[in-house]
Amino acid sequence: MWSMTMSNMLAAKEHKKKPLIFIVDDEPMLLETFSSLLSDNYDTKAFNSPRAFLSYIVDPESTQPDLLISDFMMPGITGTEMISHAIEKGMTFPL
């Protein structure tokens, strides 16, 4: 799976398109830190809750990230439960 992820990221870089990383965390400081650290080389989309992320992925075909970074313990549902719901909606992504 790692090589497929790297292939996707390298292909995106060759086309001058930054790979897309989704970041899900309920801590605003961590969202800002991850986004800031990654923004030079990646497009990032930050979500402050699992529910916000799940609401965003209405159409998995058009919202497929190259990578998902998620907190595990969040209010409401855990990161693992969020990923299960995303997969049920048809998303496929490296974690």
- Are the C-beta atoms of 19 and 66 separated by less than 8 Å? yes
Give the phi and the psi of residue 61 in degrees, each rounded to 5. -65, -40
Angstrom distance (rounded) from CA 1 to CA 81: 21
Task: Identify any residues that bridge with 70 across adjacent strands, giving them in sequence order.
Answer: 24
Angstrom distance (rounded) from CA 91 to CA 39: 23
Residue 14, both tokens: 């060759």
Q: List Cα–Cα distances, 48 to 20, 23, 71, in angstroms.
A: 17, 8, 10
The pTM for the full model equals 0.77
**Greatest mean pLDDT range, 2-6, 29-33, 84-88:** 29-33
Angstrom distance (rounded) from CA 89 to CA 58: 8
- Of the two residues 6 and 82, the one the predictor is more confident about is 82
Tens digits of residue pLDDT in 41-60: 999 999 999 999 999 987 76
Across residues 12-18, what is the average pLDDT?
66
